[in-house]
Amino acid sequence: MRQVTFAAGLVALCCWAIPVHAATLRCPADSVKVGNVCIVTYEASVWQIPPSNAALIRKVQQGKATLADLTAAGATELSGCGNAPANFPTDGNWTPVSGSNPPSPGVYAVSIPGVKPTACVSWFQANQACLLSGKRLLTNREWQGAAAGTPDPGTDNLTTDCAVNSPGPVNTGARSSCKSSWGVFDMVGNVNEWVADWVDRAGMCTNWLGGDASCFGGSGSGASNQIPGALMRGGDWNYVFSGVFMVDATLAPSEASPIVGFRCAR
């Protein structure tokens, strides 16, 4: 706030100052402005792009790449489990593709409509794919803010509702009603989304706030559970306890699952 001094010498507090960054922030075409952060509109799909295609890589990093750009340039989407290249392992410790400058594994996260979100990526891989694309994973707080207004589902009509009781993941942006008040799609259902935060790994779940799952907190004894858990949010395409408040810490950051993807932010 700023001070306003009156002639009589009294000082009053007036007007909340707007952070300069929030006031001037301009988000790329692949994102929407949520407070002072640019949140990508769609869940991430992950693509291999040859290092020789510097123009397409710049488009990806600038948030301007389209599906037509990617397919025309021969980029390959990493769909399905076990399809990550050998130089991009689940621990995230990638090695550069020969000829890449600056060094890169040739793997990038893209936010575009009309494709299946990439699943079967570990937290480490998701984190690196965002960074290579000039972005980062959302924090848990940012995810919760961006999800506001997304329908917290009880049903899935297989056409417009959030995909929470569907045969499989749906194309990004295909469920027209599954959209937050900020304009972000598919934050509930479709694929669980890694966020940046780590916590104690959870070993069991309960429900809260209208039935959303809460798989959070320490899991007690057992050596396999005494390791970090990375937070996932939103739920997946076949989980009726998905929702705006669904929080899950049952996977270690090195694990990958066919129901877990991610999205990025700037």
CB atoms inside a 10 Å sphere around CB 75:
21
Average pLDDT, the chain: 89
pTM for this one? Answer: 0.88
In this model, does residue 3 exceed pLDDT 80?
no
3-state secondary structure of 59: helix
Mean pLDDT is highest, among 28-32, 99-103, 212-216, for 28-32
Q: What is the pLDDT of residue 225?
A: 62
Residue 6, classified by CB atoms within 10 Å of its CB into exposed (0-12), middle (13-18) or buried (19+), is exposed
In this model, does residue 36 exceed pLDDT 90?
yes
Label residue 10 by pLDDT band (50, 70, 90). very low
- The predicted model gives 33-56 an average pLDDT of 96
Instruction: Tell me the residue length of the chain.
Output: 266
Query: Of 242, 264, 10, 21, which Cα lies nearest the Cα of 121?
Result: 264
In this model, does residue 105 exceed pLDDT 80?
yes
- The predicted model gives 245-252 an average pLDDT of 95
Written as six digits, the tokens of 252 are 């270690």
Q: What is the pLDDT of residue 188?
A: 97
Distance CA 262, CA 266 (A): 14
In this model, does residue 68 exceed pLDDT 80?
yes
3-state secondary structure of 243: coil
Q: What is the pLDDT of residue 98?
A: 92
In this model, does residue 7 exceed pLDDT 90?
no
- The predicted model gives 184-191 an average pLDDT of 97
Q: What is the pLDDT of residue 4?
A: 42
- Read off the pLDDT of residues 192-204 as tens digits, 9 standing for 90 and up: 999 999 998 888 8
DSSP 190: S
- Read off the pLDDT of residues 126-148 as tens digits, 9 standing for 90 and up: 999 999 999 999 999 999 999 99
Q: What is the pLDDT of residue 22?
A: 54
Label residue 12 by pLDDT band (50, 70, 90). very low
The set of residues, in sequence order, having a beta carbon less than 8 Å from that of 50 and lying 6+ positions away, is 74, 97, 106
The CA-atom distances, in angstroms, between 234 and each of 2, 19, 46, 132, 195 are 39, 29, 20, 24, 10
- The predicted model gives 158-169 an average pLDDT of 96
